[in-house]
Amino acid sequence: MKTFKFTTTLFSIALLVLLASSCKKKCKLDGDSTDTGSIIEGVVVYPESGYMTGNMGGNYVISANSSYADKFEVSFSQGPREAVNFTNYKILAFPISANCNAQYERNVAINTSTQSVIYSIKVTQCSDCKEARGTENYVLVPTFPDNYTVTNVLTVVDKN
């Protein structure tokens, strides 16, 4: 009888330890990153090298008269790389740092009445992943006049 009681107690303790350790949930993000608004869909922007935004002095609008204009190529719908037609397009960059497990919602709104462009990014990141990663967030947009004001807006949501 003592052996049965001891075995039952040992089994109960083992079961409690197992249940307590298996309750830790891993953060999961729903869906993929998205691009909306005036961002041209299905385009991959290829910079000549990584981390060019660090040298841009805060001017993250790349147009035909930019000193960085020749340092980019684009691919439309998984096609071949080609030079950017800056008559029709501009490239916007928005360098940020986020946790290693993150989802991005990028949106560009071009407002002709206020002569402004707002490039907003909402980052949903897992708080259990502490390693930070830098992203430059290049997007291709329709051209707009050089005198428009461009504003970057970042929203960060931590998820458990």
Distance CA 34, CA 89 (A): 20
Distance CA 73, CA 82 (A): 5
The closest of 103, 109, 92, 87 to 43, measured between CA atoms, is: 92
- Mapping DSSP to helix (H, G, I), strand (E, B) and coil, where does residue 133 land? strand
pLDDT digits (tens, 9 = 90+) for 28-73: 888 889 999 999 999 999 999 988 999 999 999 999 999 999 999 9
pLDDT digits (tens, 9 = 90+) for 77-105: 999 999 999 999 999 999 999 988 899 99
- Give residue 69's Cα distance to chain centre: 23
The closest of 135, 148, 34 to 93, measured between CA atoms, is: 135
Instruction: Specify the pTM.
Output: 0.81
